[in-house]
Structure 1
Amino acid sequence: MESEHAVTVKVLFFAQSKELAGTREATIQVPTRISYKELLNIITETYNLQPLRNNILLAKNEEVCEQSVELEIKQEDRIAVIPPLSGG
């Protein structure tokens, strides 16, 4: 991001998202204020997660994010990509 208000966050991948991304964790720069949908788009496009896009949940610092709100992101926040879970 070229915004002067961008911060670096750690992105953590789990289960199938880890397989598609090819890594367990990565860092990415995002704006300090971003909608859930924009953040989801950036992550899915950057890390080849389009097949899971409609089923992924994002969590910021271990708290699942509301999909309808604008997020405030701080330097060093951790964003978890949680794909659909299966099993019983």
Structure 2
Amino acid sequence: MEITHDVSVKLLFFARSKELAGTKESTIRLPTKISYKKLLNVISENYNLETIKNNILLAKNEEVCDEDVDIEIKERDSIAVIPPLSGG
């Protein structure tokens, strides 16, 4: 039995994060367990989101992630990158 230490997940970018990343979706390989902070850092550094990093919410499979709990990730999960919303 093979143990997988990293999986392929889909990243979905919305609003300002989509503009900064230059794409609405991407694929990234991540470990099967990662802290919220580390995941946020990896995404921010790889997709030019440093300027809004402190205001981003991450959601796994349409459920907002808790910042204090490690995130369990499975093959083909999706991570939504939700930037601050502005009204007008």
Normalization by structure 1: what TM-score? 0.94
Q: Give 5+ residue unaligned stretches, structure 1.
A: none
Matches within 5 A, 1:31-70: 31-70=31-70
Spell out structure 1 runs of 4+ moving beyond 2 A. none
Secondary structure of the residue aligned to 2:87 is coil
Does structure 1 residue 17 correspond to structure 2 residue 11? no
TM-score scaled to structure 2, two decimals?
0.94
Aligned residues: 85
Map of 2:85 onto structure 1: 85
| Counterpart Cα distance in 2 of 1:31 and 1:38 | 11
Q: Could you report, residue by residue, the CA deviation over 1:8-32 in whole angstroms, capped at 9, with x for unpaired residues? A: 0000000000000000000000000
The percent of aligned pairs where both chains have the same amino acid is 69
String of CA shifts for 1:21-60, please: whole Å, max 9, x gaps: 0000000000000000010000000000000000000000
Q: Which runs of 5+ in 2 are unaligned?
A: none
3-state SS of 1:40 partner: helix
- Two-structure CA RMSD over aligned residues (Å): 0.8
